[in-house]
Amino acid sequence: ANLPKDRLRLAIQKSGRLSTDSLDLLKACGIKVKSPKEKLLLHADNFPLDLLFVRDDDIPQLVMDGVCDLGIVGQNVLEESALERGTTSAYVVERTLDFGGCRLAIALPEERPYTGLKDLAGLRIATSYPQLTKRYFAQQGVPAEIVTLSGSVEIAPRLGLADVICDLVSSGSTLEANKLRAVETIFKSTAALIRNARPLNPEKAHAFDIVLRRLDGVQKAAG
Ligand code: PRP
Ligand code: ZN
Ligand code: MG
């Protein structure tokens, strides 16, 4: 389908921790979409906005490249993507949101002793966030070997792929199920509404002002 020039394009996560909350937020802002997720592109019925359902990891790039005007994405994914790109100038964080809370943490097999970061020197660390992990270890002055995996990071120690992991922790149940324990937090995150850094055309800018006003009302009401 064509994406008309006078409608805002917003990228949200197709399925995952942010999906339901992202859709609920739009609903609370009075933006109606029906039968979500069956199509990858949906037009709001009552507002000049189109929704694109994608993998969360793709959202920063879609917004930075201007394929979408807006995106709702975790600050963890955003920061990783910006580090990889080497610049934060292609997007603007318009609002931080009150959902999607999580932390990026270093976790070890439960039985592995730990007294401090120096215990990790020279170990292999599996992660889907190589940039954030690399930056943290560099800042701490601890040498480490990063093993990049796009998913199922928590299984890496048992497979012998890595000694420890650096992954997102939300409820903690994934770590618990895999007999891992978090020892250091390297990044704290919530969801954020981001916009491509280039100015919106007047029609879109007007629509976006309305979105922001409603969003601020919703977030203020939620406290
Ligand atoms: C993260 C992480 C774990 C899970 C941890 O994945 O990779 O799989 O969440 O959550 P828990 O502490 O509540 O068990 P995410 O939701 O970011 O999905 P993705 O890796 O598929 O993008
Ligand atoms: Zn993801
Ligand atoms: Mg995951």
Q: How far apart are CA 168 and CA 186, in angstroms?
A: 10
Tell whether 146 and 90 lie within a shared domain: no
CB 14 within 8 A of CB 7: no
Q: What is the pLDDT of residues 83-93, one digit of tens each?
A: 999 999 999 99
Same domain, residue pair 122 and 93:
no
| Token pair 């270093």 in the structure block, residue | 106
Three-class DSSP category at 37: coil
- Please tell me if the CB atom of residue 79 comes closer than 6 angstroms to any atom of ligand 1: no
Q: Are residues 203 and 180 in the same domain?
A: no
Q: What's phi and psi for 200, nearest 5 deg?
A: -75, 155
Centroid of ligand 1 to alpha carbon of 71 (angstroms): 19
Please check whether residue 2 lies inside any domain of the structure: no
Question: 56 and 69 share a domain?
Answer: yes
pLDDT at 135 over 70: yes
Q: Give me the chain's average pLDDT, please.
A: 95
**Residues with a beta carbon under 5 angstroms from ion ligand 2:** 56-57
Are both 182 and 203 inside the same structural domain?
no
Tens digit of each residue's pLDDT (9 = 90 or more) over 138-196: 999 999 999 999 999 999 999 999 999 999 999 999 999 999 999 999 999 999 999 99
Show the DSSP H helices in the chain as ranges. 19-28, 59-64, 75-85, 130-140, 156-159, 173-177, 202-222
Closest CA to 178 of 156, 162, 160: 156
174 lines ligand 1 (CB under 6 A): yes
Question: Are both 94 and 106 inside the same structural domain?
Answer: no
Number of domains in the chain: 2
Which phi and psi (to 5°) does residue 95 adopt?
-150, 140
User: Residue 52: which CATH number?
Assistant: 3.40.190.10
Instruction: Calculate how far, in angstroms, residue 13's C-alpha sits from the geometric centre of ligand 2.
Output: 9
Q: Is residue 43 part of a domain?
A: yes
pLDDT at 4: 64
Q: Are residues 181 and 204 in the same domain?
A: no
Q: Are residues 161 and 208 in the same domain?
A: no
Q: Are residues 83 and 132 in contact, defined by beta-carbon separation less than 8 angstroms?
A: yes
User: For residue 176, what pLDDT is reported?
Assistant: 98
141 lies in the same domain as 209: no
pLDDT value at 1 more than 70: no
ipTM for the predicted complex comes to 0.93
Residue whose CA lies nearest to ligand 1 atom number 16 = 17
Ligand 1 atom with the smallest distance to the CA of 176 is 14
**Structural domain harbouring 141:** 102-187
In whole angstroms, what is the distance from residue 70 CA to residue 64 CA? 9
Closest ligand to Cα 173: 1
